Structure 1
Amino acid sequence: MLAKARRSTLIRLWLSQHQGGMHLAMGAVVIVVLAVIFLPRMGPTQLVGRVAGFALNEPHGRFPLAYVQLSDRRVTVHLGAHSCATGDRIHIEKHKALWGPSYRAGVMACDFGSEPSDAQAR
């Protein structure tokens, strides 16, 4: 019984003296868990869709959004500095993550160059 009490005292003493290391280890565990949850699983998948409409994000309306119609669903992407018109083809990237896919405008997005958009052809 005395050995068991002494062992628990030694464990408490060791933990009190190494508390900084425990915080560091717990911080590392938290960072790894967050990385597993929030970082994409693989490289992006390149998709092509059609711009179905536009909006500005809320509450400040600073960044343009495009509603993109894919073959199986309609998604919303931030456009940034890309110039697109309704009906244009748009390159988007699908990123897979633990909570589900996210979609982003591709590097060139609607800037195809050689192909006129439907709005320009009229």
Structure 2
Amino acid sequence: MPGFCAGNGVNEDGVARVESELGVRFADDYRMYLERYGMAQMDGKELTGIGPVRHLDVIDVTRECRECVQNLPDAWYVIEDLGIDGMVAWQDGDGSVYLVSPDGKAIKVADNLSEYLEL
């Protein structure tokens, strides 16, 4: 993808530690992304992940967004804070991706991370 910039991957133990801390099970595609890249930016998208960039840290971003939007499933985690009108992209453990507005309205936009990145 144009403008692709990624970090270093994270081992399985590191991914499992983050899952445990958030109380989630990452979708297989998100786990593979974390293990390969840790976190990444590309073509206007900034995906959350595991690495040194705090505003992209999946733990911090998910916790902050959970405080702002109530009644979302606890198993969801943030893959991208779009920074536009409070919209946030969340993923569930099966891989589906949802755009969620500040009022908590969720719309499924993709079946998996790859499909989301093509939007």
State which structure, 1 or 2, has the greater radius of gyration over its C-alpha atoms: 1
TM-score computed with the length of structure 2 as normaliser: 0.24
Could you say which structure has the higher strand fraction? 1
